[in-house]
Amino acid sequence: MPSTFSDNRASSALPERASLRIWLAIVALAVGCFTFVSAEMLPIGLLGPISATIGVSAGTAGLLVTGFAIVVALAAGPMTVLTGRIDRKWVTVLLMLVCLAGNALAATATSFSVLLIARLIVALAIGVFWSIGTAMAVRLVPAHQAVKATSVVLGGLAVAAVLGVPFGTLLGQYAGWHAAFAALSALSLLVGLAAMILLPSLPAQGTGNLGAILTAFKHGPMRLVFYATALMMTGHFLAYTYITLYLQQVAGIPASWISYLLLLYGVAGVVGNFTIGSAMAKSLRGALLNMLVLMAVSLLLLWMFGTHRWATIAILIPWGFSYAALPVLLQTWVFRSAQETGDSEAGLSLFVVAFNAAIAAGAWIGGVVLDRLGATPIALIAAIIVALALLLVWCSRHGHAHE
Domain presence at residue 7: no
For residues 243-281, one letter each, b for 16 or more C-beta atoms within 10 angstroms of the residue's C-beta and e for the rest, the string is bbbbbbebbebeeeebbebbbbbbbbbbbbbbebbebbe
* Sequence-distant (≥ 6) Cβ neighbours of residue 136 within 8 angstroms: 29, 88, 92, 199, 202
> Which residue from 144, 121, 71 is spatially nearest to 357, judged by alpha carbons?
71
How far is CA 121 from each of CA 3, 127, 129, 304, rounded to the nearest angstrom?
36, 11, 13, 39
20-39 pLDDT, tens per residue? 899 999 999 999 999 998 99
> Which residue from 67, 39, 46, 36 is spatially nearest to 361, judged by alpha carbons?
67
Provide mean pLDDT across the span 330-352. Answer: 73
Please give the residue range of the domain that contains residue 328: 20-402
> Which residue from 304, 284, 296 is spatially nearest to 238, judged by alpha carbons?
296
Residue-level pLDDT at 6: 41
Residue-level pLDDT at 3: 35
What CATH code is carried by the domain that includes residue 241?
1.20.1250.20
Q: Which residue has the higher pLDDT, 140 or 65?
A: 140
Q: What is Dmax (Cα atoms) for the chain?
A: 60
109-126 pLDDT, tens per residue? 989 999 999 999 999 999
pLDDT band at 340 (very low <50, low <70, confident <90, very high): low
* Sequence-distant (≥ 6) Cβ neighbours of residue 8 within 8 angstroms: 135, 138, 139, 205, 344
Q: Which of 6-20, 86-100, 142-156 is predicted least confidently?
A: 6-20
Residue-level pLDDT at 343: 61
Domain presence at residue 11: no
Domain presence at residue 340: yes
pTM confidence score: 0.75
With a pLDDT cut of 90, the percent of the chain lying above it is 39
Residue-level pLDDT at 179: 93
Number of domains in the chain: 1
Provide mean pLDDT across the span 172-198. Answer: 93
Q: Is the per-residue pLDDT at 15 higher than 80?
A: no
Domain presence at residue 362: yes
Domain presence at residue 31: yes
